Amino acid sequence: MHVDERTDKFFRLLSRPIIMQKIDIDCFFKKLQNHAKELKSKIYDARDFRKPVALDQQNIGRLTRADALQVQAMAVEVERRRYFELEQINRALKRIALDEYGQCLSCGEDIDLARLDIIPTTMTCIQCAEV
Ligand SMILES: [Zn+2]
């Protein structure tokens, strides 16, 4: 091959349209589903915290009832956050089903892949999130 032909081929390859970010939906789907599974099992494991705090604290050892109530309040807050996250995941899964995943809900542009990687449940691009 002549040198000029090679450079020509090289520049033709360079001038190909850059392939826009291709979101691996399956990968995000699995990631979201796994996270949901994890959250559900954590909620299940923590279910004992929902039991009313007993007046008789003998079997809790040195914890006072006030301590136990505070521990319970924190557990309730953790659970609330887990349910909130689950809800976010369900919304993201729905968007995958509707083929809308990865599009900004505000402006319709593609959400940056790096942003989705960090926050797979995000529904807005960085520009719209900052407004
Ligand atoms: Zn946007």
Residue 87's nearest CA partner among 30, 40, 23 is 40
Q: Ligand 1 centroid vs 123 CA: distance in angstroms? A: 9
Domain ranges of the chain: 31-99, 101-131
CA–centroid distance, 90 to ligand 1, in Å, is 21
Q: How far is the CA of 126 from the centre of ligand 1 (A)?
A: 7
- Residue 17 clears pLDDT 90, i.e. is over it: no
29 Cα–ligand 1 center, Å: 21
Å from CA of 124 to ligand 1 middle: 5
Would the pTM of this model clear 0.85, i.e. be above it? no
Identify which of 92, 107, 106 has the alpha carbon closest to the alpha carbon of residue 23. Answer: 92
Over the stretch 116-129, which tens digit does the pLDDT of each residue have?
Answer: 999 999 999 999 99
